[in-house]
Each structure stands twice: as C-alpha cells, then as structure tokens.
Structure 1
Amino acid sequence: PRCSVGDFECPYARPGDPETCFQPSKLCDGNVDCPGGADEHCPTGCGTPVNKPILSTKTGERIVGGIDARPHSWPWQISMLSNGRHNCGGSIIDHHWVVTAAHCCTSGPSTYKVRVGEHDIVDGQGEVNAWTYDVERVIQHPLYQGREQHDDICLLKTVLPIFFNDDVFPVCLGSGTPPEVGTDCFTTGWGSQRQVISPPRMGEEDEAEVLQKEEDSKQDRVPNILQQVDLKVVDQAECARVYGSHSRPITITPDMICGENPGKDSCQGDSGGPFVCMSRGNSSIWELVGVVSWGYGCASPGIPGVYARTSHFLDWIAETIYND
C-alpha cells in the first residue's frame, strides 16, 4: 500500500517483506510496526559502540596517516550526501539530529541526505543496517561567516527518525569540560588520504572539487572504507601561536580546538566528521569533542588541524533542538 501523508516506509525492509508504513511518533512506543521490530530496537545512552573500536596508533596511508576502522565501531559516523555524492561527514547525536560543519551546509535540505550504518561507501551492499534518510532542516550556526572559520557548526534534522541498532548509535555531546592537552583522541572519515603541505582545506566547494578530481583521475587516495586516525589535543595557546605566525595568519578563537600527530590528520571530505575522546569520567564512553573544520594543508609538519569545539556550542545545540 502507498503510505499516506505523514507516514513513511519503514527503513531496513528486506526483499520479500511487505511494504509497511510507519508513523514517526510510534518509534519506541512498545508496539512493533516495522519488519524485524526495527522501530522497537531502542538502546539507551550514547557513545558506547557495540563493536568496540580498535584503538591502534600505527600509521598507514589513510585519512592521512590513519588505518581502516573496524566495521561499525564508530556508529555515529554518517556520510552527508550532496546530490547523491559523499561530500562531508557528520555525527548522530539524537534520533532526528546530526552535527556537521557549517561550511558543509551551503544549500537547502533537498540537496542533502544522511547515510548511516555504512562502512564501505562504494560497495556497502551487504551492510544490513545502512540506510539513507532525507533531510528536513539545515541549520547553520547564526554567527558562521564563511572564510573567517569561526562558529563552523551545523545541525541537520532528518525527516524520519533515525533507527538505532548495533551499527547506528549516537555519540555523547559530553560536558563543558575540555579534554586535557595531550589527550589521545580519534577522528574518522572517508576523506582524502593525500598529505597536503600548503593549501588551506576549507569550504564545501573546495572539497567537492578535490573529490571530483580524485575520482576522475582514478587515483586511490579517497578511500572506500571508513578511516580512523589518532590525534592529540594541542594546547590552545600553542595552536594560536602557530596560526598567528603563519604567512597567512588567522585567529584561533575560543570555539575552536586543535589536534595534531606528526604525519596524521583529517583532510578534504572529512569535514563535519567527529573528533572524539574518551569521557574523562568513564573510559567506555566516547564524547564528541570537535567537528572537523579546517586547517592549512593536511598533516602539514607543525600545523595542527582545527575543529569546532562542541562544548562551546552545547547551549545552542540544546536550544535549537528544543525549539524545532
């Protein structure tokens, strides 16, 4: 049957399953409406993957200096599709909400889709919990001003609530207490694996162009498999000194946090993705400390990557979700 207005087809329907219409308000209401009870698999909490990540610090030729992630070990990671192509990353924080970078959010909701539960973004057909959600709202931070880089955060609201399962689960936003300098944290994504020494990495258009060139030339520097890399939190004053003394100086503002590890970094295509650290109060819980934002080059020697500091935006995130 065709779904009526306000109803949607259940995610994760298998071949042969009858089409089932689902009302979003019925998620986790105690009554099974979707095949396999997908709408009633309602784990609580956040930041606790069923498939624990392998916390390797070895170096490979990935994400710049990272390694293949264990499948579905970072279950909040999403691929933000722009006109059907991977453009940016993002992090699930709620059944309806994803955090990404403001510079990834330059168009209206119809341009974007949120792909969840994916490990291989090219050949993920066997990934039973992969699903694509339409976007209802795209909300840039009101103070974001493009090339000035500050307030580089955006919220996406999905039309249908995101169904949680072993491969799809939210990350914790954490508290306002920042991680200590030197803390080992991780960033993940499907971005470029090429070390870039000079040009800045910023802007959705720049990323789309880089990814298009990579694909067109059939180079192997944009991965199919989700990558992870370990980075250490950098002292804010030191990060400000590095960027302030650069030939193209830029100010590191309080809403930013920096991460670095020699030869390792996030890069084009990773923007909007998670920068996560273990909770200071519970090492089994992962908290979203930053959102991949910008930097001069990728893994440029002595130049940290810069992330939107999520603790700075906790009030804005809470107010936006509450008021929507």
Structure 2
Amino acid sequence: MLETDATVGARQVEYQGDLPWMVALGYRRRRRVVYRCSGVLINDLWVLTAAHCIKQRGPVEARLGDIDVMAAYDDDQEVPPVVIPVVDAIRHPDYLEQRGTETELIHNIGLIKLARRAPRNDVIRPICLPLETERRDSLAEKEALIAGWGFRRDTGRPRRVMHFSSAELSSHQECVASYKGEYTITYRMLCAFDYSGIDSCKGDSGTPLMRQSTNGTGPWEVMGIGAYGQGCADPNYPAVFTKIDTYLNWISRTVDRN
C-alpha cells in the first residue's frame, strides 16, 4: 500500500491496485475525450464526485483501474483499464455556485451512474463510505490521503498520471480564519492543508480525501470530495472538501431511487 510523507509532496502512483476505487471522469471535447475530474467508486454502479464536475459536456465516461489516462496499459499489461459510459449525473439539489467577487460552492457533491456494473478485481473495487458523522474538530491535525489527476502547479495543465500525497486536516476555526470571509465554510465541509497542490490547483478535480478507518487498521473510507481551494497549494489556505458523512442520507436516497 502507499506510504505517505507530508514533506515529500505529490508522488506518482506506481501500481494499479494501490487505490482501486479511483475513477477518472472523461468529458467530450470536439472529437475526443479529455479527463478533467476525479471520483471514487462507492459501489458497482455509482461514482462519488464534486457537483462542479458535472457539466453540460459530461462526464460521458468513467475510466477505472488506471494510473496513466493516456496509456493503453499501466504496470500490468494483463489488466487493462476499464472504460464505462455514464448514463446519469446528479448534482445535490441544493448545490449553489456563484461567480463574481465571491465564489461559493455549497453542497458541492454529485453522483455519477455507470451504464453497467464495474468489475471487481485486484485493481477495481469500491471504497467505503463513513459509517457515522464525526465532529470536525476531533479530526484536526490528523493525516489523510489525497489522490487524483489534478492540475499541475508548474504548467497549469491536468496530470495524465495519478498522483497522491498526504494532507493535514485543520480545525474549523483555523479554516474560517484562513479565508477571512472570502468563502463560506459550513459544518458540512472539511479543510486540509494540501502542500502538494493535487487538489487546490484550479480547484477542478473532485479530488477525494481518504483515510484508513479504525485508526489506520480498518478499511479505507472517503472522508471528503474536493470543493475548492485558494491559489495552488498556498500554505496559508487549506483546501476545502465536502464532508461526506453529512451527506450519507442523500447518497443513500439518490442511489436507491435511481
């Protein structure tokens, strides 16, 4: 499994099975598909992502079991990535986006339905959802994992290869103070200092915030989905994530009804 070190920054994922729930979301651009957002597989048919990743042009497909979205194979040529069309994309009904002097992305969570069930194997399987709601401040200064194909700090272009890094969770008070009223930080959000820039560069990746449950000995679970950030890995501004355990009822209802 991946070993994280906050002092190293973003590192390339080497083996397909390290993060088997990661999904690259593809969007139609002229005659080709480009990958611009991440998500996580939460069961055989559904992918969890950010609401701002659901656009008019997609996603049109989900790429699973992959590291390099431009390559036909990764580390194991006997296990090629699986591409599945998207049949539905659902934003939270109260999602709010405002552009102008202020930007607010409230209820920034969405679900993607696949056209067929994803296979389960060594490189593709779902991640767990949290079992219950956890107080934000009890998570302060704890470490979590982020991963995805977010935009690079140096070029401003999306990564073709999945990277991962550790991130340190901040308290709610520290997060609110950092943004000084520039963004609305609600109880349904988590903040984490992402020194690698995987999530906060352009804030357009739907990057998952993950941890191993039971103090690092249990199954992996998704804690948050990237909502927005300030600048690109700016140490003065934590990245903001939608707090998944406050949306468990909405996720369950949406999956059951669709």
Q: TM (normalized to structure 2)?
A: 0.86
Equivalent residue in structure 2 for 1:235, among 154, 171, 175:
171
Contact 2:86-2:114 at 8 Å conserved across structures: yes
Quick check: 1:189 aligned with 2:133? Answer: no
Distance 1:286 1:138 in 2: 25
Gaps of 5+ in 2: 99-103
- Look up the match of 1:77: 22
- Look up the match of 1:32: none
Distance 2:80 2:7 in 1: 29
Which amino acid is 2:237 matched to?
I
Quick check: 1:68 aligned with 2:7? Answer: no
Distance 2:57 2:70 in 1: 25
Query: SS at 2:139's partner residue?
Result: coil
Q: Cα 1:304–1:181, aligned 2, differ >3 Å: closer, same or farther?
A: same
Which structure is higher in strand share? 2
Contact 1:258-1:305 at 8 Å conserved across structures: yes
Q: Percent identity?
A: 27
Distance 1:108 1:123 in 2: 23
Distance 2:80 2:207 in 1: 20
Quick check: 1:123 aligned with 2:71? Answer: yes
1:302 Cα deviation from its structure 2 partner:
1.1
Gaps of 5+ in 1: 1-51, 60-64, 197-209, 215-221
Aligned residues: 241
1:195 Cα deviation from its structure 2 partner:
6.2
Quick check: 1:289 aligned with 2:237? Answer: no
Output aligned runs, 1:124-139, within 5 Å: 124-126=72-74, 127=77, 128-139=79-90
Deviations 1:178-212 (A, max 9, x none): 5621111011011122069xxxxxxxxxxxxx5xx
- Look up the match of 2:118: 162
Equivalent residue in structure 1 for 2:159, among 223, 240, 243:
223
Output aligned runs, 1:282-321, within 5 Å: 283-321=217-255
Which amino acid is 1:317 matched to?
I
Deviations 1:120-153 (A, max 9, x none): 1122435524111011111100000123211000
Distance 2:196 2:150 in 1: 15
Distance 2:214 2:107 in 1: 25
Q: Cα 1:82–1:269, aligned 2, differ >3 Å: closer, same or farther?
A: farther
Q: TM (normalized to structure 1)?
A: 0.69
Output aligned runs, 1:29-108, within 5 Å: 52-59=1-8, 65-72=9-16, 73-83=18-28, 84-107=33-56
- Look up the match of 2:101: none
Query: SS at 1:114's partner residue?
Result: strand
Q: Cα 1:282–1:265, aligned 2, differ >3 Å: closer, same or farther?
A: closer
Quick check: 1:271 aligned with 2:205? Answer: yes
- Look up the match of 2:107: 151
Which amino acid is 1:300 matched to?
D
Contact 1:288-1:310 at 8 Å conserved across structures: yes
Q: Cα 1:294–1:259, aligned 2, differ >3 Å: closer, same or farther?
A: same
Query: SS at 1:280's partner residue?
Result: helix
Output aligned runs, 1:168-183, within 5 Å: 168-175=124-131, 176-178=133-135, 180-183=139-142
1:284 Cα deviation from its structure 2 partner:
3.6
Larger radius of gyration: 1
Contact 2:88-2:113 at 8 Å conserved across structures: yes
Alignment RMSD (CA, Å): 2.1
Distance 1:263 1:119 in 2: 18
Contact 2:52-2:204 at 8 Å conserved across structures: no
Deviations 1:230-265 (A, max 9, x none): 0011101110111125xxx12101111100054555
Distance 2:216 2:235 in 1: 33
Output aligned runs, 1:244-255, within 5 Å: 244-245=180-181, 249-255=182-188
Quick check: 1:256 aligned with 2:204? Answer: no
Contact 1:129-1:165 at 8 Å conserved across structures: no
